[in-house]
Amino acid sequence: MNVLFIFSRHSQDPRDSTLTKDLSEEFVKNGVNVYVMTMSESRDNKHTNMAMESGCNVLRVKTGNYFNCKTKIEKVKTILTLPEKFVNAAKKYLKDVKIDLIVTHTPFVSNKRIIRPLKDFFQCKAHLILWDIFPKNAFDLGIIQNKYIFKVFQNLEIKMYKSFDHIWCMSNGNVDYMRNNFPELSSVGIELLYNSSKIKPLPIISKSQIRQKFGYSDSDIIAIFGGNMGVPQALECIIYLADRAIQNNFVNAKFLFVGKGTQTDYLKDLANDMKLSNVKFIEQLPRDDYENITFMADIGIVSLDKRFTVPNFPSKTTDYFKLSLPILASLDNCAMNDYGDFLLNTVKAGRCSLSGDIDDLFEQYQILYLDAKLREELGYNGRKFYEKELGVDIAYKKIVNCYNEH
C-alpha cells in the first residue's frame, strides 16, 4: 500500500513528535510505503527535493512563506500559488508511484485544486482530517465580515469537502455539525477520529529541577497554556484570571504561556499594564523541552473565543492528557456542549467555564488550585483515556480499515 500524506509542516528532526508526524510514522511502522509532501518555505533557501526521512519519502516543495509572515499579502500569495506547485511536484517526483490513498488536513493544504488533480492523476481515494471549519470560524470572529465574500468561501468549502471520500472529525460535535450543515456530503463518509499520538510513558525527570530552571518553587501551582496565541484563543481571559488570583491573595498561583502568535505582544502588554508578577511568557520550544516544561505544571489551560458557533476540539488536549494534567477550560457555548461535555463527563479530566465569565472561571480555577488530590485524580483520568483511546495505532487502524471497506 502506498499512502501520500499532504502536510503543511513536517519536521526534519527525528525527535520531534507532532500529530501529523506521529501518524505518518505509524503507517511506516506497519509496513506501508509512505510519501509525505510538505512545504519548503522561501526563507529556507532550498529547492524542491525528495529524501528519505525516518522511513518516509518526504517531498519538500519550494513555496512562498506561509508561517510567521510579515504581511498578509505574502501569506495570501503563498496560498494562491501553492496548489499548482504541489500538483506539479507530485506529478514529477511521484509519477512512477501508484498512490492508493491521499491523507491531508485542514487548513489550506486540503485545497480542492490540490486534491482533485492528484486524485485523478493517481486514480486513488482521499481522506481529510478536519481540524477547523473555515470560513464559519473566521466569520464568527469578524475576520470575514462581508457576507458576499463569506458566501464565496463557503461555496469553495463545500467543493473542497466533496473532493474527499472520507472526512475524519475530532469530536462527536464536529461529526454532527458536518452531517447537519452539509447535506451535499451525503456520499462522503463522516466519522469520529480523535487527535492521536504515540503513546509514551510519563517523563522520568525531576519536576523540581525544571521548576528551578524556570524560576518556580515546588510550592507554586503552575497553570500552563501551550500553543498559538491568536484571536481564537481569547487568552486575555486567562490574564484576567491571573489578576483575580492576585486579588484573592493566591500567592502560589502562577500562569505560564508557552508559544507565540498574533496576540502575544498584546497579552504581554496587558500583563505588564496590570503589573502581574505571576505571569510569564516563553517563546516556542523544541518538542521535548515543551513536554518537560508542561510536565512540571499543575494545570493545563484551554481557552476559546466566546463568539465561536462551530465545534472546536483543542489539539493541546492530547498533550495535557499525556502528561496527566487536569484541564481548566474557558469555552464558547458551542464548545461547552461538545468539548466541555467530553472533558467533564466522558473523561472526567477537568473543569470548564463559559468564555468571558471571569467570576465562574475563577471559581473553577479555585477548586483546582486548592485541591491537590482532585488535580491528581483528574490528571489520572486524562492519562488513562489517553492510553486507551488516543494512541496513533488506533487512528492508523481506523483509516486503513475504512480504506479497505470502501
CA distance 105 to 127: 8
- Starting at the edge strand found earlier in the chain, the sheet holding 279-282 runs 279-282, 253-258, 221-226, 299-303, 327-331, 350-354
Q: What is the pLDDT of residue 72?
A: 82
3-state secondary structure at position 250: coil
225-250: per-residue pLDDT in tens? 999 999 999 999 999 999 999 999 99
As given in the structure block, the three cell numbers for residue 56 are 518516509
Answer yes or no: are the C-beta atoms of 249 and 274 closer than 8 Å: no
Segment 393-398 long-range contacts (CB within 8 Å, at least 24 positions apart): 393/26, 393/199, 394/194, 394/196, 395/23, 395/26, 395/193, 395/194, 395/196, 396/23, 396/26, 396/27, 396/30, 398/168, 398/191, 398/193
Q: Which domains does the chain show, CATH number per domain?
A: 2-197+391-405 (3.40.50.2000), 207-389 (3.40.50.2000)
Confidence (pLDDT) at 34: 98
Overall pTM > 0.75: yes
**pLDDT value for 70:** 78
Helix or strand (DSSP H, E) at 245: helix 236-247
CA 48 to chain centre: 27
* Distance separating alpha carbons of residues 128 and 148, to the nearest angstrom: 27
285, three cell numbers:
520550544
Q: What share of the chain is helix, strand, coil (3-state, %, to 5)?
A: 45, 20, 35
Q: Is 324 left (phi over 0), alpha (psi -120 to 50) or beta?
A: left
- Where the chain has pLDDT below 70, the residues are none
User: Which sign, positive or negative, has the C-alpha torsion 151, 157, 158, 159?
Assistant: positive
Q: Which three cell numbers stand for residue 16?
A: 520531534
